[in-house]
Amino acid sequence: MAADDKSEQKPMTTAQVARAYFAALAEQDLEAATALWKPGGTDHLHGLAELEAPGGVTQFFANLFAAFPDWEFEVLELAASGQNAGVRWRTAATFSGPGHFQGLAPTGAPVVVEGCDMLRVVDGQIVENNAYTSGTDLAQQLGMLPKQGSLADRAVTGAFNARTAAAAALRKLREG
């Protein structure tokens, strides 16, 4: 076999693909990140978005980086076996824009978010990703929801419980 014969070159392992993908995202290198996806692959950002690779992944992260231009990304743990890789990560950024995030105008709020992605890799390409993070935590940091335990949180919780009690009382009156 000739030294330049690439037909025998093995695809990257699942762990190598996962490391390369998250390294590319950390560098905000969308070309390198999406090159690791099989066209038509699905990125399930649970509670946030469903993306088809490569275009949907590119568009989502381009918008994210425009909304959070100082976006920093760190892999905390990575474990891979067979076609699957689990990656626990942390990101820190400031919602300073100029881009919007999920329709929200930049607030200048700093955010720190942790999450976990479960990638499936076939023949050296990502075919599916299931990403999980706390939307509630992010919404609280962005100022959309009150911080847990705050006066505003207690007021919202009280109003919700009062509404629930009133609805239950109305049901009893209708039934009784």
Q: Which tens digit of pLDDT belongs to each residue from 92-144?
A: 999 999 999 999 999 999 999 999 999 999 999 999 999 999 999 999 999 88
As a whole number of angstroms, the distance between CA 154 and CA 4 comes to: 67
The answer to whether 149 and 62 have CB atoms below 8 angstroms apart is no
Kindly state the DSSP code that residue 107 receives in the 8-state scheme. Answer: -
As a whole number of angstroms, the distance between CA 156 and CA 169 comes to: 20
As a whole number of angstroms, the distance between CA 46 and CA 25 comes to: 18
- What DSSP line would sit under 113-167, residue for residue? EEEEEEEEEETTEEEEEEEEE-HHHHHHHHTSSPPTTSHHHHHHHHHHHHHHHHH
* The length of the chain, given as a count of residues: 176
The pTM score is 0.84
Reduced to 3 states (helix: H, G, I; strand: E, B; else coil), residue 51 is strand
Confidence of residue 24 (pLDDT cuts 50, 70, 90): very high
Q: Domain map of the chain by residue range? A: 14-145, 146-176
Q: Which CATH architecture has domain 14-145?
A: Roll (3.10)
As a whole number of angstroms, the distance between CA 15 and CA 126 comes to: 11
What are the tokens at 176? 């009784």
Neighbours of 147 (CB within 10 A): 12
Q: Which residues have CB under 8 Å from 24's CB, separation 6+?
A: 30, 32, 33, 36
Q: Which tens digit of pLDDT belongs to each residue from 139-160?
A: 999 988 888 888 888 888 888 8
